[in-house]
Amino acid sequence: MDSLTPTAAGKTEALAARYGRDAIPPAGPWNETIAGMLGHRSVRAYRPDPVPEGTLETLVAAASSAATSSNLQTWSVVAVRDPATLAALAEVASGQKHIRQCPLFLVWVADLSRNARLGEAEGVTLEGLPYFESFLVAAVDAALAAQNAVVAAESLGLSTVYIGALRNDVERVAGLLGLPPGAVGVFGLCVGYAANPGEVKPRLPQATVLHHERYGTDAEAAQRAAYDDLLRDFSARNEMGPETWTRRVINRIGTLKAMAGRDRLAAAMRALGFPLR
């Protein structure tokens, strides 16, 4: 058992906030970096304060330091501060006001265009580029880079929220940012100082997402019922209505209407130069 040093108590509290008191996992080693990650919450209201000088370059240095498949580095990032562009991006994202409000907005780009330009300059056909695999490499590269930037930002006392709703209209986003063929904004990221950081959102228990040797679902129904209770209480406390996880999942992916245009994503990607072969 851990002694009740401040760190051990902090660890238990952090795990309870993330998983609920009834599902605290037997986590071992702990430190400040991990405690910082456990404290993550997505923030959708920002103070007007700018980020300190050099913050963007620090975040991109962290992003560049993430692993990248075969060192292909198939990602880019566009930093947007122009109010007209931010207003247009917010419109794409169904009006999410924090896009206009945050002092730094980043669009993370799955970018095969740089490698394509390399091939053209060298007079070589890169046969792998048109394949689904290459888009997936680029999307994962962009996600790993972005998550490093998020951890870096939060370690500096900043808050963030990913904006997947840029995928409501990837063609319009590409036009706004001047993206070449083979480049697509996979998500945005607001960065700034939280107006109200709010409460850590509980997640599914480790027993649901972590499997040993082989995937199993024996206890999943009971785990989901317990998590439904946990999330209903969280939602009620945070003025989001007493919704269970089950209900939220159904609302979010139950209908094509809820996809807000993203049911056309594959076609839009092909129009942007990703054959997804």
41-100: contacts with a copy of itself (CB under 8 A): 42, 52-58, 60-62, 64-73, 75-82, 85
Nearest Cα to 231, choosing from 219, 222, 240, 220?
240
Query: Is 1 one of the binding residues for a copy of itself (CB under 8 A)?
Result: no
Task: Decide whether 101 or 142 has the Cβ nearer to a copy of itself.
Answer: 142
Please give the size of the binding site for a copy of itself, defined by CB under 8 A: 130
Segment contacting a copy of itself by CB under 8 A, of 92-100, 191-199, 259-267: 259-267
Maximum CA extent, the chain: 65
Supply the DSSP symbol for 70: G
Task: List phi, psi (to 5°) of 75.
Answer: -145, 155
Segment contacting a copy of itself by CB under 8 A, of 89-97, 177-185, 191-199: 177-185
Which of 220, 233, 236, 242 touches a copy of itself (CB under 8 A)? 220
Task: Decide whether 101 or 152 has the Cβ nearer to a copy of itself.
Answer: 152
Measured distance between the N- and C-terminal CA atoms of the chain, rounded to whole angstroms = 53
Cα–Cα separations (whole angstroms), residue 20 to 31, 51, 201, 221? 20, 33, 10, 17
- Residue written as token pair 């075969």: 70
Q: For the segment 190-219, give every residue that binds a copy of itself (CB under 8 A).
A: 201, 203-204, 206, 208-217
Cα–Cα distance between 119 and 275 in angstroms, integer? 17
Supply the DSSP symbol for 213: S
CB of 74 to a copy of itself, least distance (A): 9
